[in-house]
Amino acid sequence: MKTQTNFKTMYENIIIDNIDFDGYGIDNDGYLYDKIITVYNIFKSEYGHAVKQYGNETKAFEEWLRGLPTVLSVPYYTHDILNIGYINGLIKADATDEEEDKFLNEYWGKLANAFFTLKDNL
């Protein structure tokens, strides 16, 4: 049996694993590229007006994610985000509060960057 290896980053996998079109009447099955483009189009429809306010799409997307869009319900609670960091070795078990805070502060921006990496490279 051939094993398939996933070379995507943890943040890219979080994005991929949390796409959910149920509230939009769209089938969740489909090619990853189509899913990413559909999420992007939903973002533009729901929050595209904020791009100018935040200076660029990535920052606006980050803020949109913080608002917990139905189509992309990524882990939100501090405990869950820290667990992801611990499980993936991005935070040491004996991390200081400052190290945990740094990880938490970077989480949303890294998710937004991962989304646009997927969008631009699929």
pLDDT at 4 over 70: no
State residue 109's pLDDT score. 97
The pTM assigned to this predicted structure is: 0.90
Residue-wise pLDDT tens digits, 23-45 = 899 988 999 999 999 999 999 99
State residue 5's pLDDT score. 53
State residue 6's pLDDT score. 62
What is the SS3 string spanning the chain?
CCCCCCCCCHHHHHHHHCECCHHHCCCCCCCHHHHHHHHHHHHHHHHHHHHHHHCCHHHHHHHHHHCCCCCECCCCCHHHHHHHHHHCCCCCCCCCHHHHHHHHHHHHHHHHHHHHHHHHHC
Q: Predicted confidence band at 100 (pLDDT cuts at 50, 70, 90)? A: very high
State residue 122's pLDDT score. 86
How far, in Å, CA of 11 to CA of 17, rounded? 10
How far, in Å, CA of 112 to CA of 122, rounded? 16
* Mean of pLDDT values over 94-105: 96
Q: Which comes out higher in pLDDT, residue 6 or 98? A: 98
* Mean of pLDDT values over 82-92: 95
